[in-house]
């Protein structure tokens, strides 16, 4: 009798604790404004895993504080009022993309980004495409070696491995000869890289800091979900790099786990580089509010800036630098993706290592494919994050069953984030096709409007198809029940992966 009574007390205590946990989970999740999908995903995690779930939420689920968000927004608003709005008026004096019809897709996309992101269109850019890390970093280091005034580096990952040391050595040499060197990196994305790694650079007059983080930030503000995922390098305000490569040996194809690393990066010469400078300055200056380092004066950076007129040169690439992040709710890059997909007339080709789209993007892809548009998506053949890859497989299966051609790249790991459509619309940058890039990460993409560049990126995609496998409904049907379960389970967590 005593045993039964004891177990009855234990059962009631467990029930009470479970109810307290549910109530606390609801309070925790609903106290911050978030989309419905991520709200339910976090409720599931906190309810099913009472202790582990709250520890996970502490490090991953917490949103940025209002102070942090508004400090970023205030910095953006200040710079936009001083510089970007002024540039917008200059753009309005010129005819945007004058050879195109007023209602053309590229004109509409330009207007969309000017409305959402104050993204100025520049017209004089010369662009080179890199798909191989060794070629890209050899050229970047060479450009750093020839820098005369300043070098700004902003990367999600800046590892302290062989490539990281090579890039750092070039930056140190630049600082030693009087070049202004600034490095901004993500603390979580640069595993193993400490502040000591940049100590000699700072002794030579350069500066380095982790994005919106003070030393020991992991312990002061344990929030791992908001990453500086941008990849930018600006040399003397004349040369800019933007795309998917980070700084690390694996991006040279030297990591046994991944093999060859297939990515896409642009080297830009032209005024789009100044728009990259604006993006870097916003991120640097906002971080300076935490670290008290010297801010960048865009008044000096733009003292001699005059917007060039549209050019008849077929090599000149009209371009907008578009950014997004948890500091605003414009979702400019995601909405740009939606616009390109929904307005496609013939084809849309997409490369992304992660395929976990929001419903609006998912349905836009299905509608395009069902309407006869040639929609093709390329994903890796291997995971770098198991849960993320199983969720990617889930959505790949859904899209395949709805007429989208999904390819699995077999020649190593594909990390490119590209989209091409029509004769002259292309996007290359840091944003993946997933919730994290849409809502949680700080991202930046180049949206370009040029026939030759689009043709180059389209051909790169077609070349990659030769090294890929077309996924079919039979491919997914033949997978094990355990693998299918992992895909469905991962899909439930997709809003928070």
**pLDDT per residue over 206-250, tens digit each?**
999 998 754 444 444 444 567 899 999 999 999 999 999 999 999
Q: How many domains does the chain have?
A: 3
Is there a single domain that holds both residue 229 and residue 284? Answer: yes
Helix H or strand E segment including 253: none
**Domain range enclosing 462:** 332-496
pLDDT at 497 over 90: no
Is there a single domain that holds both residue 169 and residue 311? Answer: yes
Is there a single domain that holds both residue 303 and residue 445? Answer: no
Is there a single domain that holds both residue 55 and residue 74? Answer: no
Q: Which of 284, 287, 335, 320 is nearest to 437 (CA)?
A: 335
pLDDT at 75: 58
For residue 422, being part of any structural domain is answered with yes
Percent of the chain past pLDDT 70, that is, above it, reads 75
pLDDT at 66 over 50: no
pLDDT at 61 over 70: no
Is there a single domain that holds both residue 336 and residue 290? Answer: no
Between 221 and 397, residue with greater pLDDT: 397
Is there a single domain that holds both residue 281 and residue 343? Answer: no
Mean pLDDT throughout 444-453? 96
- In which band, very low, low, confident or very high, does the pLDDT at 190 lie, cut at 50, 70 and 90? very high
- Spatial neighbors of 417 by CB under 8 A, at least 6 apart, are 243, 244, 264, 351, 352, 353, 427, 428, 429, 430, 431, 432, 433, 437, 445
d(CA 52, CA 32): 20
Is there a single domain that holds both residue 337 and residue 263? Answer: no
d(CA 318, CA 452): 12
pLDDT at 112 over 70: yes
Is there a single domain that holds both residue 304 and residue 352? Answer: no
pLDDT at 327: 78
Is there a single domain that holds both residue 400 and residue 292? Answer: no
Mean pLDDT throughout 152-163? 97
Is there a single domain that holds both residue 347 and residue 215? Answer: no
Mean pLDDT throughout 124-136? 97
Mean pLDDT throughout 176-185? 97
pLDDT at 222: 41
For residue 38, being part of any structural domain is answered with yes
Paired tokens of 322: 């578009």
pLDDT at 7 over 60: yes
pLDDT at 262: 98
pLDDT at 178: 97
pLDDT at 27 over 60: no
Q: Answer with the one of 316, 342, 367 that is the final residue of a domain.
A: 316
pLDDT at 362: 96
- In which band, very low, low, confident or very high, does the pLDDT at 117 lie, cut at 50, 70 and 90? confident
pLDDT at 164 over 60: yes
d(CA 95, CA 254): 47
Q: Answer with the one of 282, 316, 350 that is the final residue of a domain.
A: 316
For residue 233, being part of any structural domain is answered with yes
pLDDT at 64: 52
Is there a single domain that holds both residue 311 and residue 262? Answer: yes
For residue 187, being part of any structural domain is answered with yes
Mean pLDDT throughout 374-388? 91
pLDDT at 223: 44
Is there a single domain that holds both residue 197 and residue 163? Answer: yes
pLDDT at 106: 87
| SS3 state at 256 | coil
pLDDT at 383: 83
- In which band, very low, low, confident or very high, does the pLDDT at 396 lie, cut at 50, 70 and 90? very high
For residue 102, being part of any structural domain is answered with no
pLDDT at 492: 75
Between 45 and 359, residue with greater pLDDT: 359
- In which band, very low, low, confident or very high, does the pLDDT at 267 lie, cut at 50, 70 and 90? very high
Helix axes 272-291, 66-79, angle to 10 degrees: 140
pLDDT at 214: 43
- Spatial neighbors of 246 by CB under 8 A, at least 6 apart, are 155, 156, 157, 158, 159, 189, 231
pLDDT at 216: 45
pLDDT at 346 over 90: yes
Q: What is the CATH number of the domain that holds 164?
A: 3.30.870.10
For residue 404, being part of any structural domain is answered with yes
Q: Answer with the one of 264, 290, 316 that is the final residue of a domain.
A: 316
Mean pLDDT throughout 375-387? 90
d(CA 169, CA 302): 29
pLDDT at 49: 61
CA distance readout (Å), 151 to 72, 73, 140, 208: 23, 25, 11, 12
pLDDT at 236: 95
- In which band, very low, low, confident or very high, does the pLDDT at 96 lie, cut at 50, 70 and 90? low
- In which band, very low, low, confident or very high, does the pLDDT at 339 lie, cut at 50, 70 and 90? very high
For residue 109, being part of any structural domain is answered with no
pLDDT at 310: 72
Let me know: does 457 contact 426? Beta carbons within 8 Å: yes
For residue 101, being part of any structural domain is answered with no
Between 165 and 7, residue with greater pLDDT: 165
């Amino acid at each position: 009798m005593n045993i039964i009574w004891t177990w009855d007390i234990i059962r009631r205590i467990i029930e009470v604790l479970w109810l307290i946990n549910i109530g606390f989970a609801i309070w925790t999740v609903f106290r911050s404004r978030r989309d419905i999908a991520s709200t339910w995903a976090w409720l599931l995690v906190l309810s099913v895993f009472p202790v582990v779930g709250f520890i996970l939420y502490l490090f991953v689920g917490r949103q940025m504080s209002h102070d942090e968000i508004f400090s970023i927004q205030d910095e953006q608003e200040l710079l936009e009022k001083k510089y970007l709005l002024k540039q917008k008026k200059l753009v309005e004096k010129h005819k945007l993309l004058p050879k195109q019809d007023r209602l053309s897709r590229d004109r509409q996309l330009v207007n969309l980004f000017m409305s959402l992101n104050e993204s100025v269109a520049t017209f004089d850019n010369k662009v080179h495409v890199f798909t191989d890390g060794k070629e890209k970093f050899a050229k970047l280091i060479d450009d750093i070696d020839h820098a005369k005034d300043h070098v700004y580096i902003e990367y999600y990952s800046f590892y302290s491995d062989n490539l990281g040391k090579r890039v750092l050595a070039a930056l140190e040499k630049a600082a030693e000869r009087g070049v202004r060197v600034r490095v901004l990196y993500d603390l979580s994305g640069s595993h193993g890289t400490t502040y000591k790694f940049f100590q000699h650079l700072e002794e030579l007059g350069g500066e380095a800091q982790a994005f919106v983080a003070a030393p020991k930030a992991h312990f002061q503000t344990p929030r791992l979900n908001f990453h500086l995922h941008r990849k930018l390098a600006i040399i003397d305000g004349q040369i800019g790099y933007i795309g998917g490569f980070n700084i690390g040996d694996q991006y040279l194809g030297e990591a046994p786990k991944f093999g060859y690393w297939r990515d896409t990066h642009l080297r830009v010469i032209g005024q789009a580089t100044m728009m990259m400078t604006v993006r870097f300055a916003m991120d640097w200056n906002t971080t300076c509010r935490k670290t008290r380092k010297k801010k960048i004066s865009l008044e000096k950076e733009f003292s001699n800036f005059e917007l060039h007129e549209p050019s008849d040169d077929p090599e000149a690439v009209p371009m907008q630098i578009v950014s997004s992040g948890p500091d605003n709710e414009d979702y400019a890059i995601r909405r740009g993706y939606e616009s390109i997909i929904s307005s496609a007339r013939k084809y849309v080709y997409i490369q992304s290592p992660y395929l976990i789209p929001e419903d609006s993007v998912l349905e836009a892809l299905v509608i395009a494919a069902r309407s006869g548009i040639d929609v093709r998506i390329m994903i890796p053949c291997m995971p770098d994050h198991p849960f993320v890859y199983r969720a990617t497989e889930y959505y790949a299966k859904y899209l395949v069953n709805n007429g989208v051609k999904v390819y699995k790249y077999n020649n190593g790991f594909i990390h490119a984030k590209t989209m091409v459509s029509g004769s002259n619309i292309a996007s290359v940058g840091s944003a993946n096709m997933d919730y994290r890039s849409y809502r949680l990460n700080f991202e930046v993409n180049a949206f370009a409007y040029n026939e030759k560049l689009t043709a180059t990126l389209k051909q790169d995609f077609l070349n990659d198809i030769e090294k890929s496998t077309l996924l079919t409904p039979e491919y997914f049907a033949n997978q094990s029940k355990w693998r299918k379960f992992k895909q469905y389970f991962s899909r439930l967590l997709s809003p928070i992966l």
